[in-house]
Amino acid sequence: MQELQLIQELQKQNPFVQKRVYDRYVKRMFRLCVRYVKIEADAQELLMNGFLKFFNAVAKIEYRGENTIEPYLKKLMVNECLMFIRQRKNNWVLMEEIADEEPISDFSAYDKFEEEDIYQLVLKLPDGYRTVFNLYAIEGFSHKEIAEQLRISENTSKTQLYKARLVLQAELTKLGYNYGT
């Protein structure tokens, strides 16, 4: 079934199509929520709110080609996560003890790393670093947008991202030793 048909059926509140859309995206959306809030219980709550909003507001979706539903759903979920983070009031504290290392120039050696290990590296990041890294590197937000969304300054966003990269690189290097690179 094409996305246009899916959207039309969703607008008719067709339960079979709802289940189909749910099955298609639930894992990805759950992972996304966990990536932001780390705790699975919180992620499930956000997932529930996000899906409910999606199914209730499906009439507002404008068809924009074959890739319409996923970005819409993703945006909803990210917004839910950011609302949650704003309520939780993150501490945008910087880690002091990060040693500047030589930047990794060639990532081909890291391609054999398990995806799950990489995912876990992101989860290990402190809340502030993780949020900014997720928004900038994974979702593609600009620093200005991040600053607006998280109600922080652009400079804070930049610093958080810089530090997050340093931590990730250090962790990647550590992981490389485990992999024997």
Partner 1 sequence: MEHKLDDFFRKKIESTEDTIPESSTFDEQAFWGELQKNIDKPQPKNWWKWVALAACIGGLALWGILLPKPLPQQPQTSRVKKIVESIKEKQDPITAVAPQKTKKQTPQVKPKQTIEPNKDLEIAVAELSFKPTPLPTQALVIKQDSIHINPVSAPTVMAEAKPQFKKIHVNEISNTEQSPMPQPKFKIRFAARNQH
Q: Choose between 31 and 86: whose C-beta lies nearer to partner 1.
A: 31
Cα 89 from Cα 71, distance rounded (Å)? 26
129 contacts 135 by C-beta, under 8 angstroms? no
* Long-range pairs, 103-112, Cβ under 8 A, ≥24: 103/169, 104/169, 104/172, 104/173, 109/176, 109/181, 110/172, 110/176, 110/181, 112/179
Smallest distance, partner 1 to C-beta of residue 137, A: 4
Burial environment of residue 175 by CB neighbours within 10 A (0 to 12, 13 to 18, 19 or more): middle
Smallest distance, partner 1 to C-beta of residue 28, A: 4
Stretch binding partner 1 (CB under 8 A), from 63-71, 79-87, 89-97, 135-143:
135-143
- What tokens does 125 get? 């990041």
Q: Choose between 84 and 110: whose C-beta lies nearer to partner 1.
A: 110
Smallest distance, partner 1 to C-beta of residue 6, A: 16
The correct pick among 107, 112, 177, 178 for binding partner 1 (CB under 8 A) is: 107
Which spans of this chain sit near partner 1 (rule: CB under 8 A)?
15, 18-19, 22-23, 26-28, 30-32, 35, 40, 44, 47-48, 51-52, 55-56, 103-105, 107, 110, 113, 115-116, 118-119, 122, 133, 136-138, 165, 168-169
